[in-house]
């Protein structure tokens, strides 16, 4: 099977969305799908959490991105990320785990079942996409490295490589590098929390966080840390990049909550990328927990979600 990296595809070569979905359904009928992940072809199963909403086009998903390591304009990542070297790739796993070490991503993926999921990803600017991610539950990796009993949080760190990430090399620093993020351990172990290795059945494009990124579909998009090189378990709440940059605007939890406005804009509605009308398309109501309240609201029972934003 020939599986090419998405940036190597011309627009005319990208499978139309309807044909892609039909082809996937046919293949699924033969007992399983084969998905590329960091250069490996692995068996895939469809996640029970997948939405039935129409996926956003591959072109939009790979050309409208937030990845400040490659620039602040939405088109900068697609323009600048091609120089990033993603193989070989190692992930340091340390802190409160029984099996710390520097793990090669190919070794992590060996024997890992890749799940097909379609997640509604939204972020604070009020735009959203429906992205057919391929990846595996973060819980599968954490279980393998054996969290210690005192671990309460999981911290993540992005690659720092200014020679290939021009946004890190500029004189004007948008953020302190490396980009860092974190989850509570129970959030990290939830079956909805994914480490993505691809989308639309292809290896993850560089501008979307290759070769390994976090997907937490009930949180805003900036929680989805990209190009992960370190995962640490700790008993203390880790610092997160946007909370460091603007703590009055970005909290640790960053759950989708339409009832709590960002200080500079309303979060009650959103614009779906790809909808007819572009910037003038009718906005839609933002759903609590991005539509996953039935699955995750119990994680926050008794918490004031205006205080813990």
CA separation for the pair 169, 157 (Å, rounded): 18
Angstrom distance (rounded) from CA 68 to CA 211: 17
Of residues 89, 33, 35, the one with CA closest to residue 227:
89
Radius of gyration of the chain (CA): 18
Other residues' Cβ atoms within 10 Å of the Cβ of residue 171:
4
Is 80 annotated as contributing to ligand binding?
Answer: no
Rounded to whole angstroms, the Cα distance separating 53 from 181 reads 28
Is residue 208 a known part of a binding site? yes
Looking up tokens 């799908």 gives 33
68 is known to lie in a ligand binding site: yes
Q: Could you write out the DSSP letters of every residue in 81-101?
A: GGG---SS-EEEEEESBSS-E
Q: DSSP 3-state assignment of 151?
A: coil
206 a known binding residue? no
In angstroms, the CA 53 to CA 111 distance is 30
- Residue pair 278/127 in contact (Cβ under 8 Å)? The answer is no
DSSP H helix total and E strand total for the chain: 9, 14
**Length in residues, the chain:** 309
| Dihedral pair phi/psi, residue 242, rounded to 5° | -75, -25
**Residue 69 marked in a binding site:** yes
Distance of CA 127 to the CA centre of its chain: 15
Consult the annotation and say whether 292 binds a ligand: no
Taking residue 295's Cβ as centre, other Cβ atoms within 10 Å add up to: 15
237: closest CA among 184, 186, 193, 190? 184
Q: Which residues contact 246 (CB under 8 A, 6 or more apart)?
A: none
Annotated binding-site positions: 65, 68-69, 123, 158, 208, 213, 224-226
Annotated binding-site positions for Mo-molybdopterin: 65, 68-69, 123, 158, 208, 213, 224-226
């Amino acid at each position: 099977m020939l599986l090419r990296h998405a940036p190597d595809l011309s627009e005319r070569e990208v499978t139309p969305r309807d044909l892609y979905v039909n082809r996937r359904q046919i293949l699924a009928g033969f007992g399983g799908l084969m998905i590329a992940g960091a250069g490996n072809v692995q068996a895939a199963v469809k996640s029970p959490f997948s939405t039935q909403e129409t996926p956003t086009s591959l072109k939009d998903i790979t050309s409208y991105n937030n990845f400040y390591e490659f620039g602040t304009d939405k088109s900068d990542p697609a323009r600048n990320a091609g120089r990033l070297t993603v193989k070989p790739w190692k992930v340091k796993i340390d802190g409160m785990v029984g099996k710390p070490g520097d793990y090669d991503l190919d070794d992590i993926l060996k024997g890992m079942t890749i799940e097909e999921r379609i997640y509604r990803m939204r972020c604070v600017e009020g735009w959203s996409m429906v992205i057919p991610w391929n990846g595996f539950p973060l819980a599968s990796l954490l279980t393998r490295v054996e969290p210690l009993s005192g671990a309460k949080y999981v911290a993540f760190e992005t690659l720092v490589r200014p020679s290939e990430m021009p946004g890190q090399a500029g004189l004007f620093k948008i953020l302190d590098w490396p980009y860092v993020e974190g989850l509570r351990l129970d959030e990290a172990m939830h079956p909805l929390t994914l480490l993505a290795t691809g989308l639309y059945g292809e290896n993850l494009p560089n501008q979307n966080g290759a070769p390994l990124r976090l997907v937490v579909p009930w949180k805003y998009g900036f929680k989805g840390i990209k190009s992960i090189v370190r995962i640490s378990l700790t008993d203390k709440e880790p610092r997160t990049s946007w909370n460091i940059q603007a703590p009055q605007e970005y909290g640790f939890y960053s759950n989708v909550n339409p009832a709590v406005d960002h200080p500079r804009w309303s979060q009650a509605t959103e614009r779906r990328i790809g909808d007819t009308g572009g910037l003038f398309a009718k906005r839609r109501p933002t759903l609590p927990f991005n539509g996953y309240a039935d699955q995750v609201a119990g994680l926050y029972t008794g918490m004031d979600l205006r205080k813990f934003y």
